[in-house]
Amino acid sequence: MMLLVSIHDVTPALEPDVIRLWQLCSERGIIPALFVVPNWHGAWPLERYPEFSAWLRDRTAEGAEVALHGDRHDEVGLPRGIGDHWRAWGRTDGEGEFLTLDVAGAQERLVRGLRRLQEIGLEPIGFVPPAWLAREPAYRAAASLGFQFSEDDRQVFLLATGHAVPSPVVRWSARTRTRAWGSVPVARARWLFQSGSRCSRIALHPGDLKESVVARSIGRTLDRWLGLHQPGRYTDLTKSFQLA
């Protein structure tokens, strides 16, 4: 059984906690996927942070896969409709960049983000929308640009083959102390109901480390899942369906 671990919101704006999460994984023999935001909130373009960009290249040299995690991550200037508010309720506070985009809007941001990553020497193999929120046209745009995979919080999409692999993600929320304490038993319950899954996912966010109860839960959760699952890669998942 395969375990996919990812670090979201990889940006120099959150560098100390990104590195702490990497170390948590590395100590356990995990090479997590890095979901990189090329220009966090329009104020942190990667090309202006050569040391962090070099750190990212070093991690890819160790085997880390890179996914494009939006262009700027936030929704600034993008109006939500009632249905969009419903989809995002409780999941993100204005950080669903691809929540309302059509094909053209999604493709524009994907191309811009892709070029930015390529300029610093990174070749992303996947696209993961911020907060796992996107309309179907965004996934079509990603497939047209050659991305191998995408995902939401319930499944991984293998864009070249059209397969959707069920894999509800284990994650936490530390936006408030109440949410942090509430997310810990939810993460534990995921183990009870999903530990036998063929493909399991654990998603880590730099903000998770704001609350010590979540930080402790992350370590325990990784150890627990590693007892039954082998750390894997998104390319492994893609190859398994191509060969099936």
According to DSSP, the β-strands at 39-40 and 44-45 are antiparallel
Q: What is the mean pLDDT of residues 4-25?
A: 98
- Yes or no: say if 169 and 203 are a contact pair by the CB < 8 Å rule: yes
pLDDT tens digit sequence for 55-90: 999 999 999 999 999 999 998 877 777 776 667 676
Instruction: Give the integer Cα–Cα distance in Å for 189 and 195.
Output: 10
Of the pLDDT bands very low, low, confident and very high (cuts 50, 70, 90), residue 20 is very high
Q: Compute how many other C-beta atoms are within 10 angstroms of the C-beta atom of residue 151.
A: 27
User: Tokens 């050659």 label which residue?
Assistant: 146
- Yes or no: say if 56 and 68 are a contact pair by the CB < 8 Å rule: no
pLDDT at 86: 65
pLDDT at 80: 76
Of the pLDDT bands very low, low, confident and very high (cuts 50, 70, 90), residue 242 is low
Q: What is the mean pLDDT of residues 230-234?
A: 96
User: Who's near 46: CB < 8 A, 6+ residues apart?
Assistant: 11, 12, 36, 38, 39, 52, 53, 56, 116, 117, 120
pLDDT at 88: 65
Alpha helix (H) residue ranges in the chain: 15-26, 50-61, 82-88, 103-119, 136-144, 177-194, 212-226, 234-243
pLDDT tens digit sequence for 128-141: 999 999 999 999 99
- What average pLDDT is seen over the chain? 93
Domains with residue ranges and CATH for the chain: 2-243 (3.20.20.370)
Q: Looking at the DSSP assignment, which residues form a beta bridge with residue 150?
A: 157
Instruction: Give me the phi and psi of 143, to 5 degrees please.
Output: -65, -40
pLDDT at 93: 76
